[in-house]
Chains A and B, each alone.
Chain A
Amino acid sequence: MAVDLATVTRIAKLARLRLAPGEAEPLVAELNGILRWIEQLGEVDTAGVEPMAAVIPNHLRWRPDAVTDGGVAAAVLANAPASEAGFFAVPKVIE
């Protein structure tokens, strides 16, 4: 698997990363290096091995259905560039 310039530009756009002119090209080479490195895993024979979800044997923990959090509107809004009447206020987005 390898990425080209168009793919890198598209991924950057989807991730809302602004790339300065000339920044994308080196990223193509760097990402392809990472992908080649990961692909070495393909050399291991995994026939008959169950896919695993985590490296340590662990199970998902469940929480009881109880209200234990919230009521911290001030903290939630503290880092917002703008807020009004308890809402986050963002530049108008309308469909």
Chain B
Amino acid sequence: MSDAPFTIRGTTGDWEIVVGLEVHAQVTAKSKLFSGAATAFGAAPNTQVSLVDAAMPGMLPVLNGECVRQAVRTGLALDAEIHRISRFDRKNYFYADLPQGYQISQLYHPIVGEGHLDIEPEGEAPKRVGIERLHLEQDAGKSVHDAHPAMTFVDLNRSGCALMEIVSKPDIRSPAQAGAYVRALRSLLRYVGSCDGNMEEGSMRADVNVSVRRPGAAFGTRTETKNVNSVRFVMAAVEAEARRQVDVLEAGGTIVQETRLFDPDRMTTRPMRSKAAAHDYRYFPDPDLLPVELSETFVADCAASLPELPVAKRSRYVEALGLTPYDAAVLTAERETADWFEALLADLVRRTGKPATELAKPASNWVTGELFAVLKRTGGGIEASPVSPEGAAELLALVADRTLSGSLAKQVFEAMVETGDSAAAIVDARGLRQVSDTGAIDAAIAGILAANTDKIAEYRGGKDKLFGFFVGQTMRAMAGKADPAVVNDRLKTALAG
């Protein structure tokens, strides 16, 4: 039997899967790793190419210090060893979008060594995944194969952009873990600010290494599925490739160590057309570049520049603010959401003078409920929110001082989204103030009770559920503006007779 979280049931028994991911993340920098050409996405072809990137004879690479800094900051965020000396090597191969005939990478002495990343796979226990290494390397250009019947078009704008290749240990055991790993890594990179994590634009893509084995047996032969560009596809590629391998093995075949491609239309993998000898990269140290040496001050400055990271933030939300682990995870998944929530909470504390521990829960509920619903409807991220954190704090402060009930606050928020007016202005203009005056509420209750003597009898006879009916009737009579707490309280008294 297997204690793995995920097994494939074959015709001959259960199989476990073993997965390692190599994620390529484009480093956030204005210019390229070894040249001063721009890196912005979407420019006209070959307009962001220097003669260095085009590999003209005699051009020499000069290292972009910001790319080094971002790699080190990312390494520190992964709790990884930072190598004070690293080197660049040449990885030699020929392809139309690689003008140098080699990629400058770091095989033997990467800038960052072993670390780890904590993940929370859906439906499974949290897990720590080992990081093998992180190194800096150049991206290649982009080939367009479908614009011309006989030609491939090559754009070198991406050629020479800095990539971090982040290699996990083969610790991943399920598609859910593979998905959670990519999500957690993307979130971390975005917190650190070293990569924008934009998978659609190719800023982040994963090579997926998969093998299968009998429970507890040694690792099987693995295949590598290249350039998978979404969390969903990573999970699908892991599962499809593992199932294919089980089918091959159970039919008496063997797995060939090879490079494969994921086909998102069929949700399957297929072999890349064989580049038989291409895997002999003849790596050697790049003679144009001296070793990268990092001072202790540089590393310390990188560490000091890191923001509070998702794992730390999540536990602070739970321990210091009293939020549930689920809410904390939702609020911290994206740095923008956490920043927005914290701005809201700070302003709410300032407006009400109440402690953050008391306000955090309603603020969290409001953000993950009301605000997210509106964002879903308007189709933007939190940075495109129709209300500011301060505007939201004004609204929630009106709830905290009981000017507004929860349902009135919903109406006011809808009006804020619609008109762009402030909460206070809407409350004043539309008279949406909650009525807590017991005189008015008692009068309304008296009217309702007089009209429903039969129901009073039923209620007193033990039909407790009717209490909700009386609350509803009273609220309707008050046009929804009565303070529900006061209504409850006065109704109980009145019904008790």
Q: When each residue 60-95 of chain A gets 1 if its CB lies under 8 Å from chain B and 0 otherwise, what string results?
A: 111111111111110111000010111111111111
Is the CB–CB distance between A76 and B143 below 8 Å?
A: no
Is the CB–CB distance between B292 and A60 below 8 Å?
A: yes
Is the CB–CB distance between A92 and B145 below 8 Å?
A: yes
Expressed in whole angstroms, the minimum distance between the Cβ of A80 and any Cβ of chain B is 9
Please report which residues of chain B, range 120-177, place their CB below 8 angstroms from some CB of chain A when the two chains form the complex: 143-145, 147-148, 150-156
Chain A residues lying within 8 Å of B30, measured Cβ to Cβ, are: 65-67
**A41 in contact (CB, < 8 A):** no
Please report which residues of chain B, range 283-323, place their CB below 8 angstroms from some CB of chain A when the two chains form the complex: 285, 289-293
Is the CB–CB distance between B65 and A70 below 8 Å?
A: no
**B272 in contact (CB, < 8 A):** yes
Is the CB–CB distance between A87 and B37 below 8 Å?
A: no
B143 to A, closest residue via Cβ: A93
DSSP class of B's interface residues: helix, strand, loop or mixed? loop
**A18 in contact (CB, < 8 A):** no
**A20 in contact (CB, < 8 A):** no
Is the CB–CB distance between B31 and A65 below 8 Å?
A: yes
Q: When each residue 1-22 of chain A gets 1 if its CB lies under 8 Å from chain B and 0 otherwise, what string results?
A: 0000000001001101000000
Provided the pairs A90-B151, A92-B152, A94-B152 are in contact, do residues A69 and B52 lie with their beta carbons within 8 angstroms? yes
Provided the pairs A91-B150, A91-B151 are in contact, do residues A86 and B47 lie with their beta carbons within 8 angstroms? yes
In the bound complex, how far is the Cα of B38 from the Cα of A32, in angstroms? Answer: 45
Is the CB–CB distance between B277 and A14 below 8 Å?
A: yes
In the bound complex, how far is the Cα of B285 from the Cα of A94, in angstroms? Answer: 30
**Interface band, chain A:** 35 or more
Chain A residues lying within 8 Å of B45, measured Cβ to Cβ, are: 73, 85-87
**B46 in contact (CB, < 8 A):** yes
Is the CB–CB distance between A65 and B66 below 8 Å?
A: yes
Q: When each residue 79-95 of chain B gets 1 if its CB lies under 8 Å from chain A and 0 otherwise, what string results?
A: 00000000100001011
In the bound complex, how far is the Cα of B38 from the Cα of A13, in angstroms? Answer: 35
In the bound complex, how far is the Cα of B266 from the Cα of A20, in angstroms? Answer: 46
Contact of A87 among B29, B46, B94, B285 (CB under 8 A): B46
Chain A residues lying within 8 Å of B65, measured Cβ to Cβ, are: 62-65
Chain A residues lying within 8 Å of B94, measured Cβ to Cβ, are: 16
Closest 4 CB pairs of A and B: A68-B36, A65-B66, A70-B37, A62-B65
Give residues in B with beta carbon < 8 Å to A. 29-31, 35-38, 44-52, 54, 62-68, 87, 92, 94-96, 143-145, 147-148, 150-156, 261, 272-273, 277, 280, 282, 285, 289-293
